[in-house]
Structure 1
Amino acid sequence: MARRKKGRDVHGWLIVDKPAGLTSTAVVNKVRWAFDAKKAGHAGTLDPAATGVLAIALGEATKTVPFITDALKCYRFLVTLGAATNTDDAEGEVIETSDLRPTDGDIEAALPRFVGDIEQVPPKFSAVKIDGERAYALARDNEDFEIAARPLYVEELKFISRPDADHVELEMTCGKGGYVRAIARDLGETLGCLGHVEWLRREWSGPWDVEEGISLALVDDLAKTEALDIHLRPLEEGLADLPEYMLTPEGAVRMRNGNPGMIYPGEAEWGDEVWCSFQGVPVGVGILKGAEVHPSRVFNL
C-alpha cells in the first residue's frame, strides 16, 4: 500500500519577497513547513544572492506553475563595470579586469541589441545540464565545457541610473529562461569594459508585484497559524493570462472526471487554452473545442 503524504490539503499561491542568501528550494521548504502543506513548488528560480518575487504554489496550485513560469518577469539589477567574474556575479572570483569605462550614451546605445528575440549563453555556474551533469558542478571541478546558446525573448531593457563610473542600474522585462547575469556579462563584453551583476531583484513575475510579497521572517512568525493562511492567494491567480469559461453543471461533473466538459458561451476561439470554473471554483485547464473544453489539467478541489 502506498504511503499517504503527511500534511494539510492547502491550495493556492504565496508570494514571497525572497531575501538574499537562500536558495529558492530552501524558501519553498520553509513555506511548505509553515503551512504544513502536502505539496509545494515555485515558479521561476532565483539565485541565492537575488531578492524579490518568488511565487510559491501549494497543493493543486502546483498544476498552474507552468503558466507563471512562461509569463513575463521584470528584474532590476546593478552591473559592475570593469571586471568579469567566473560566476558573472559578485559572488564569484574576478577573472579579468579593464580600465575602460563607457559613457552613459555608449551604454544606452548598446542596450537595443539585447532586446527582442535574442540568443543567450547561460553562465557556466548555472543549473543547465551538460551530458546529464549540472553546469555548476562541472565548473566547480574546473572542467572544460561549453554551453550552447538558447533563445530568450526580452521585451525591454532600460537604463535606470548611473550611480558612478563603475556601475549602471538597469531594468529588464523578459520571458522564461533568461539569465540576468548573462546580460551583464554580454553587455560588458559588447562595451569592451567587462561586467558582472552586483545585485539583482525580481520586481514582478506574471500577475504579482514585489509589493504584494510577504517576508520570510513573517512566514516564520506566523507559521502553523491561521494568520498565515490569510496571505494565501487563490489558485486561479496563476491562470490570469488565460480566458475563463463557466462550466454547465453536467460539464463540471464530466471535467472533474477528466472528460470534455460543456461550457457557457465566451469569446475565445477554437483551439485556445482556457480555464474552467463552476460556481466560482476552478475545475480545470484545457483546450476549447466548440461548446466543450477538453481538459489537460483537472483540479481536485
Structure 2
Amino acid sequence: MAKTRKGRPVHGWVIIDKPAGIGSTDVVNKVRWAFQAQKAGHAGTLDPDATGVLAVALGEATKCVPVISDALKCYRFRVTFGAETASDDASGSVLRQSDIRPTDAAILAALAQFRGNIMQVPPKVSAVKVDGERAYDLAREGEDFELAARPLFVERLEMLERVDADHVDLEMVCGKGGYVRSIARDLGRALGTLAHVEWLRREWSGPFEASQGVSMEEIEALARDLAIDRYLQPLELSLRDLPEVKCTPEGAIRLRNGNPGQVLGHLPYGEEAWASFEGRAIALGSYMGGELHPNRVFNR
C-alpha cells in the first residue's frame, strides 16, 4: 500500500523576501510547516547573510523548480576593497589585506571581463561537492582543497554607485550557478587589490521579484491558518517565460496519464513548452509534430 503523505495537498509558489540571518533550507521548512504542505522545495539557494527573493515551491510546483533554477537572476551587491576573506564575504575571517584602491575608470574597465560566458571558481565556503563532501564542510574542518572553475553566463554587470574609496555597488544579471562572492573576489584581484562582498540582495529570479515577496513575519502570523493561502501564487506563474500550447480534451487525458498528447499551436520541433487545458497547466515537455511529449505531469 502506498504511503500517505502528511499535510495539505497545496500547490503553488510562495515568494519570500528572505531576511539576513537565516538559511534557505530553514526558510523552506518554515514555509512548509506554516502552510501544512505535503511537499516543498526552493529554486536557488541564498547564503544566510543574503537577502531578497527566495521562491518556495509547494506540492506540484516543485516540478517547476528546474525551470526557475535555470532562469536568469538579478543581484545587487556591495564590494569592499582592501581585504580578501575565507568566505569571500564579510562573515569570513580576513586572509589578506591591501592598501590599493582602484579608480572608477579602472573598475568600469575591469567589469568587461566578467560579462558573457566566463569561468568562475566557487567560494570554498559553498555547497559545491568535492568527492561527495560539501565544500563548506571541508573548509570548516580545515581541509586543503581546490575547486574547479565552472562556466557561468553573465548577461549584465554594471556599476551602480561608487560609495567611497573602499566600496562600490554593482548589479549583475546571470544564469544558473553564479556566485556573487566569486565575482567580488576576482574583481579585486583583476584590479590589483583584494575584495569581498559586504552585502548582497537578489532582486528577481525568473518571473519572481523581491517586490512581490512576503516577509517571514507575515508567514509566521498566519501559520497553520487557511488564510495563509492568500500568499500562494499559481504554479503557472513559474512557466511564464516558456511557450504555452493548449491541449485538446483528448490530449489532456493522454498527458495526465504520462503519454504524448495532442496540442494546438506550432513550435519548433523539440522545443520545451508547457501544455494547458482550461487555463491550468497539465504537463511540461517537448513539442514534437503537434504533440507534447511530457517529462513532468502535474497531478492536481
TM over 0.5: yes
1:115-194 matched pairs, under 5 angstroms: 115-194=115-194
One-letter amino acid matched to 2:164: D
Find out whether 1:286 has 2:285 as its counterpart: yes
User: Which residue is equivalent to 2:87?
Assistant: 87
Cα shift at 1:226: 2.9
Cα shift at 1:194: 0.4
Cα shift at 1:228: 1.5
- Compute the TM-score of the two structures, normalised by the length of structure 1: 0.98
SS of 2:237's equivalent? Answer: helix
Whether the aligned pair in 1 keeps the contact of 2:254 and 2:261 (CA below 8 Å) is yes
CA root-mean-square deviation = 0.8
Cα shift at 1:270: 1.4
User: Per-residue CA shift, 1:194-219, capped at 9, x if unaligned?
Assistant: 00000000000001111000001100
- Report which stretch shifted further, 274-283 or 6-15: 274-283
Cα shift at 1:227: 2.5
Aligned residues: 300
Percent of paired sites with the same residue? 65
1:1-301 matched pairs, under 5 angstroms: 1-264=1-264, 266-301=265-300
**CA–CA separation in structure 2 for the residues paired with 1:147 and 1:120:** 10
Cα shift at 1:128: 0.6
User: Per-residue CA shift, 1:251-287, capped at 9, x if unaligned?
Assistant: 11111001110112x2421111110011111110111
Cα shift at 1:2: 4.4
One-letter amino acid matched to 1:98: S
**CA–CA separation in structure 2 for the residues paired with 1:32 and 1:54:** 14
One-letter amino acid matched to 1:283: I
- Report which stretch shifted further, 40-49 or 255-264: 255-264
Q: Tell me, which stretches of 5 or more residues in structure 1 are unaligned? A: none
Whether the aligned pair in 1 keeps the contact of 2:266 and 2:290 (CA below 8 Å) is no
**CA–CA separation in structure 2 for the residues paired with 1:22 and 1:267:** 45
Whether the aligned pair in 1 keeps the contact of 2:159 and 2:171 (CA below 8 Å) is yes
**CA–CA separation in structure 2 for the residues paired with 1:251 and 1:163:** 57
**CA–CA separation in structure 1 for the residues paired with 2:247 and 2:39:** 27
Q: Tell me, which stretches of 5 or more residues in structure 2 are unaligned? A: none
Cα shift at 1:163: 1.2
SS of 2:9's equivalent? Answer: coil
- Compute the TM-score of the two structures, normalised by the length of structure 2: 0.98
**CA–CA separation in structure 2 for the residues paired with 1:273 and 1:252:** 17
**CA–CA separation in structure 2 for the residues paired with 1:258 and 1:234:** 22
User: Per-residue CA shift, 1:8-62, capped at 9, x if unaligned?
Assistant: 0000001000000011000000000010000000000000000000000000000
User: Per-residue CA shift, 1:232-267, capped at 9, x if unaligned?
Assistant: 111011111211111111111111001110112x24
**CA–CA separation in structure 2 for the residues paired with 1:267 and 1:139:** 51
**CA–CA separation in structure 2 for the residues paired with 1:60 and 1:3:** 17
SS of 1:48's equivalent? Answer: coil
**CA–CA separation in structure 2 for the residues paired with 1:80 and 1:189:** 12
